[in-house]
Chain A
Amino acid sequence: MSSHELKTGPLEYRTQQGQMNILGFWIFLGAEIVLFSTLFATYAVLFGRTADAPLPGELFEPGSVLIMTFLLLTSSFTCGIAIHEMRRGSKKGLITWMIITLALGLGFIGLEIEEFIHYAHEGATLQSSAYWSGFFILAGTHGLHVTVGIGWAILLLIQIAKRGLTPVTSRKFFIISLYWHFLDVVWIFLFTSIYLIGMVV
């Protein structure tokens, strides 16, 4: 609970509380890795258990999946730029790049929902087989994380508009940037192990 404040360095690291919140979030991300890996493990073990539902290779379309991947990769990049702007002391830059990030995220979510609806029409739903349960819950959990991230970032944008760049607001933005990049990391593995492998095997 020390209130000593450093005079230099990025704003988000200047108070001990700021450092601790960021550290706590890193630890939380460690837990998130395990959370997703459990879903990956379930998916992997249930691979092939499609029962009467269509096979993944029949439904996956490389085109839309690649677009989704590029949307998310780009949003991760723009989110990085937003933090770069924040560290340069530019509130406007931060807000602008963050809004771009969210727009890309929304695009990703839109495509994912469309994809899920398409699969459901083809007869692959949460209920249709163990494999598809694994697929929808794994991809869905990631999608839910992205959605939560968008809502969270909107709250933070309101706060920064009101309060400007302070150790507290910049800490909050730094943390959500960690979250956003992390979702990109998860997506890379999702893209690789669900879609690419699903289309190969």
Chain B
Amino acid sequence: MAEHNKRIPVQHIVGFVLSLVLTLLAAWAALRSDLSTFWIITSIMILAVIQAGIQLFMFMHMTESESHNGHVPWNMMFHGFVLAAIVVAGSLFTMSFGHDHDPQHNGGHEQHQQQEEHSGGH
């Protein structure tokens, strides 16, 4: 309660600084680091999830008790993200995993390989 009347919104400032730092870190990892593609993707996705958490908890007051809505907002966000994972991973799994998209090139489901072929054509 008292927190709402504070002059300086400490939580927001901390959240803001954190999100700037995390963004720069992700950009660095992607553009300047020597990590392999797999590790770049993994690490920047983790950074994105952390940043999303910062928004939800520090900016959006997802869990404040004054709302009288209990755990429902948290519940909806949680299940929303679970479903997002199902939709994205599930689509990749079923659409790209086992299929022979391009039998002549014989590597349809490995997308970067395909991409190299394309860039070769340019």
- A interface residues, Cβ below 8 angstroms from B: 8-10, 13, 19, 22-23, 26-27, 29-34, 36-38, 40-42, 44-45, 47-48, 50, 54-55, 58, 62, 66, 69-70, 73-74, 76-77, 79-81, 84, 87-88, 177-178, 181-182, 184-185, 188-189, 191-193, 196-197, 199-201
Contact of B4 among A37, A84, A181, A199 (CB under 8 A): A84
> B87 to A37, Cβ gap below 8 A?
yes
Nearest neighbor of A36 in chain B, beta-carbon distance: B84
> B76 to A30, Cβ gap below 8 A?
yes
11 A–B contacts from the bound complex (CB under 8 Å): A9-B66, A32-B80, A38-B87, A41-B90, A48-B118, A76-B55, A88-B7, A185-B56, A189-B52, A192-B26, A201-B111
Which applies to chain B's interface (DSSP): helix, strand, loop or mixed? helix
> B118 to A50, Cβ gap below 8 A?
yes
Residues of B within 8 A of A40 (CB): 84, 87-88
Number of A-B contacts (CB under 8 A): 170
How far, in whole Å, are A79 and B23 apart by their CA atoms in the complex?
A: 19
> A185 to B52, Cβ gap below 8 A?
yes
> B118 to A29, Cβ gap below 8 A?
no
Contact of B66 among A13, A30, A81, A188 (CB under 8 A): A13
Residues of A within 8 A of B16 (CB): 73-74, 77, 80
Nearest neighbor of A10 in chain B, beta-carbon distance: B66
